[in-house]
Structure 1
Amino acid sequence: MYKTHGYAAQNAQSPLAPFQFERRNLREHDVHIDVMFCGVCHSDLHQARNEWSNSVYPVVPGHEIVGRVTEVGSGVTRHKVGDLVGVGCLVDSCRTCASCQEGLEQYCENGFVGTYNGVDRVTGETTYGGYSTNLVVDEAFVLRVPDNLDPAGVAPLLCAGITTYSPLRTWGAGPGKKVGVIGLGGLGHMGVKLARAMGAHVVLFTTSASKIEDAKRLGAHEVVISKHADEMQAHQNSFDLLINTVSAQHDLNPFIALLKRDGTMTLVGAPEHDHPSPQVFSLIMKRRRLAGSLIGGIAETQEMLDFCGQHGITSDIEMISMQNINEAYGRMMKSDVKYRFVIDINSLRQ
């Protein structure tokens, strides 16, 4: 067993606080990782506060993890000691259902195992995440991190990056396509960077004029203030794809009207409460699609990391110590971060 220092929420009302626990001994195909950096995802806050009504306490959040391999099981072939690696939202799945066989482990029909607040398929114990000094993960769910990228900036790619990359790839973002990204937060800023690197014409939608300059710096060709009806009207019936990253309940109809015939709006933001139902005829009359997308499978996540390595893409981050996580949660609720907090896990070792 591996003694581990982390931070955990003990119930929905408690702040995160120091928590010691033990990681399992290595199984044949396990990799032991010393965690270096862990991104702070809005899902972490939802789970810590039980806003999705499925948390099992104590909760050790964190699924945007980068670290170094320090030990491997006897059957490991994919990774070796010293490798820089990443772990995202999944640490296991059934591996036998149709989705798993197609490399879509995130849609495992028997339920994937989350990096935290999941259930280990062997022991039945609750999994603990990356707000901790080390991790033990099956090699099949461990990813290679490109050597040319800043490891701290890579951490958010393991959730925010793949969450936007997957629908961009699925619905064919690329040259000749007009792609809109709704919201400029942790997900949205990655959507802008990735869509631009794929060669699409990128439009960022925001309610805040103060974000115009930054959106263009990140790669947006145009910025639309979504509460200005005239700006929205100018783009009606023109988009091939919209990536909606907003995690607050809102009216989808003004955005659906922006889609051309056969266009798609994909929801990737996860609100606490459902959006109001959209107008049916707006979908029917243009054969528009309203879709959803959940992170990505392991192969696609590796593809995303390799793509980011080729294009020099990382997340824009603000580094924090583990001891400042509760303050970071408070700021995240106010959207006071550009654009992802990343925890320096060395702060746990001091």
Structure 2
Amino acid sequence: MTPGRPVPPPLGKVLTPAAEPGGTLTAAMGAVSADSGLVPLTIARRAPKADDVEIDIEFCGLCHSDVHATRGEWGSRPYPLVPGHEIVGRVSRLGSAVADFSVGDLVGVGCLVDSCRECESCLEGLEQYCERGNVGTYGAKDPRNGGAVTQGGYAGSIVVDRRFVLRIPEGLDPAAAAPLLCAGITTFSPLRYFDVESGDVVGVVGLGGLGHMAVKIAKAMGAEVVVFTTSEGKADAARSLGADRVVLSRDAEAMDGAKGTIDVIIDTVAASHDLNPYLRTLRLGGALFQLGLPPEGMPPVNPGLLIRRRLAYSGSLIGGIAETQEMLDFCAGHGVACDIETVGAGELNEAYDRMVAGDVKYRFVLDTKTLHTPSEKADA
């Protein structure tokens, strides 16, 4: 525990309303304030409704956005807050109207647990861009469930509408598959949108959790992959992941040699940086997709670079449910998974500090077997 943080509450303390009849209480790890760190909690899960799937969680990936959310770095949050939106587990109960899943199925839940289902974006399978606001897996008000605040996957179980539950294909390791539900789809979606295929050249800026997935997925699509990094020490790691070339972005001569050689760039860096040198590496009609979200402003983009070579500077947000399933099936078919380090519940705060320091290759995954035992059970 980081010095100065409050002492955790008693093991298994219930910090959310008691479970309704048919619901459950489940062990969890979450924050009770912006500076509390992650502490043991017991939270209530609703009884499955007709279209709901109850999942016993086995693994949950740790995303850098979890750190920002629990520490209040992205604005005020409702506490207690249980993070986690890279969830893999087994179906334990089904609502009466669910026919497309069975008890025991290996399934996943990503960044979304609902959307309006009626707007143009939702009808096109782009729930992440829901025009009325999607419902995030944690820290969001859930209008279909009385406005209750959603709680995420650092927990023993979760209940989710079947429309937002994904099948984990055979052949994917459940722990390594968990981060695919965020890091995997976040990088897959812009590559698929740009129709990357054999013969294309993909540039990847940054080699963290997102960047290493961009390398693997682009290679599986048949592309030549060029990694841009500020660290010469990451060159061997990039090549071991499948990169064909590594360009040191601090080396002006190396960057000059890369001009006009790249079709699409996936920029995963979440710190302020100058995009203009990377835009110069793009071919006519190329595109740079910004995935990292810096907390401060970015240097201005020179519009002349865009105009003279018909370049696009674009953003991309995770993916819709159908595309996320496509990504999982693609990864299973091509042997793609995240490089992970599994941690226990007692190591989560240390893992958060290591993520901030960049000390992970390349994603942490929580093994939920290490959670404490809930202090109560709801009536059946």
What's the counterpart of residue 186 of structure 2?
163
CA distance in 2, matches of 1:139, 1:248: 36
Alignment map for 1:61-76 (pairs within 5 Å): 61-76=83-98
- Deviation track 1:144-173 (CA, whole Å, cap 9, x = no partner) reads 001111100000000000000000000111
Find the residue that maps to 1:38 and give its secondary structure. Answer: strand
Task: Tell me which residue corresponds to 1:344.
Answer: 367
State how far apart, in whole Å, the 2-side matches of 1:109 and 1:77 are: 29
| Bigger Cα displacement from structure 2, 162-171 vs 277-286 | 277-286
Other-structure match for 1:304: 327
- Alignment of structure 1 residues 229-248 onto 2, 5 Å: 229-248=252-271
Deviations 1:241-268 (A, max 9, x none): 0000011111111111111121100011
The one-letter code of the counterpart of 1:178 is V
Q: Where do 5+ consecutive residues of structure 1 fail to align?
A: none
User: What letter corresponds to residue 278 of structure 2 in structure 1?
Assistant: F
* Mapped partners of 1:231, 1:241: distance in 2: 18
Matched residue, 1:315: 338
Residues 87-98 of structure 1 mapped to structure 2, 5 A cutoff: 87-98=109-120
AA partner of residue 34 (structure 1)? D
Residue 79 of structure 1 deviates from its aligned partner by 0.9
In structure 2, list runs of 5 or more residues that go unmatched.
1-22, 374-380
Give the Cα separation in 2 of the matches to 1:303 and 1:132. Answer: 26
Match for residue 264 of structure 1? 287
Alpha-carbon distance in 1 for matches of 2:59, 2:88: 5
Aligned equivalents of 2:239 and 2:103: distance in 1? Answer: 41
Tell me which structure has the larger Cα radius of gyration: 2
Query: Which residue does the alignment assign to 1:279?
Result: 302
Counterparts of 1:274 and 1:150, CA distance in 2: 38
CA contact (8 A) 2:40 2:372 kept: no
Match of 1:49 among 68, 71, 76: 71
1:77 alignment counterpart: 99
Matches within 5 A, 1:52-201: 52-122=74-144, 123-201=146-224
TM-score by length of 1: 0.98
Distance in structure 1 (CA, Å) of the matches to 2:162 and 2:266: 31
Residue in structure 2 matching 1:2, options 18, 24, 32: 24
| 1:249 and 2:272 matched | yes
Q: Which residue of 2 aligns with 1:325?
A: 348
Does residue 210 (structure 1) correspond to residue 233 (structure 2)? The answer is yes
Cα offset, 1:276, TM superposition: 2.1
1:335 lines up with 2:337 in the alignment: no
Distance 1:171 1:292 in 2: 12
| Structure 2 residue matching 1:223: 3-state secondary structure | strand
Identity of aligned pairs, percent?
55
Partner SS state of residue 63, structure 1: coil
Residue deviations 1:254-303, cap 9 Å, x none? 11111112110001112222322211211121111100000000000000
Deviations 1:14-43 (A, max 9, x none): 211011110011110000000000000011
Q: How many residues align?
A: 350
SS in 1 for 2:283: strand
- 1:31-65 CA deviation, whole Å, 9 max, x = no partner? 00000000000110111112121522221110001
The equivalent position to 1:219 in structure 2, one of 235, 242, 252, is 242
3-state SS, counterpart of residue 78 of structure 1:
coil
SS of 1:44's equivalent in the other structure is: helix
> Which stretch of structure 1 is more off in the superposition, 207-216 or 108-117?
207-216
- Structure 1: how far apart are the matches of 2:120 and 2:100? 24
Show CA shifts across 1:175-219 (max 9, x none).
111100110000000000000000011001111111111111111
Aligned-partner SS, 2:132: coil
Q: Secondary structure at the match of 2:179?
A: helix
Confirm or deny: 8 A CA contact 1:246 1:270 kept in the other structure: yes
Q: For residues 85 and 164 of structure 1, what CA distance do their matches in structure 2 show? A: 21
TM-score of the two chains, using structure 2 as the length reference: 0.91
Q: Which whole-Å CA distance do the structure 2 matches of 1:271 and 1:76 have between them?
A: 41
Contact 1:133 1:349 in 2 (8 A): no
CA distance in 1, matches of 2:202, 2:221: 11
Say if 2:53 and 2:95, in contact at 8 Å, map to a contact too.
yes
**Structure 1 stretch displaced more, 128-137 or 270-279:** 270-279
Instruction: Give the RMSD, CA atoms, in angstroms.
Output: 0.9
Amino acid at match of 2:351: A
Which amino acid in structure 1 is aligned with residue 319 of structure 2? G
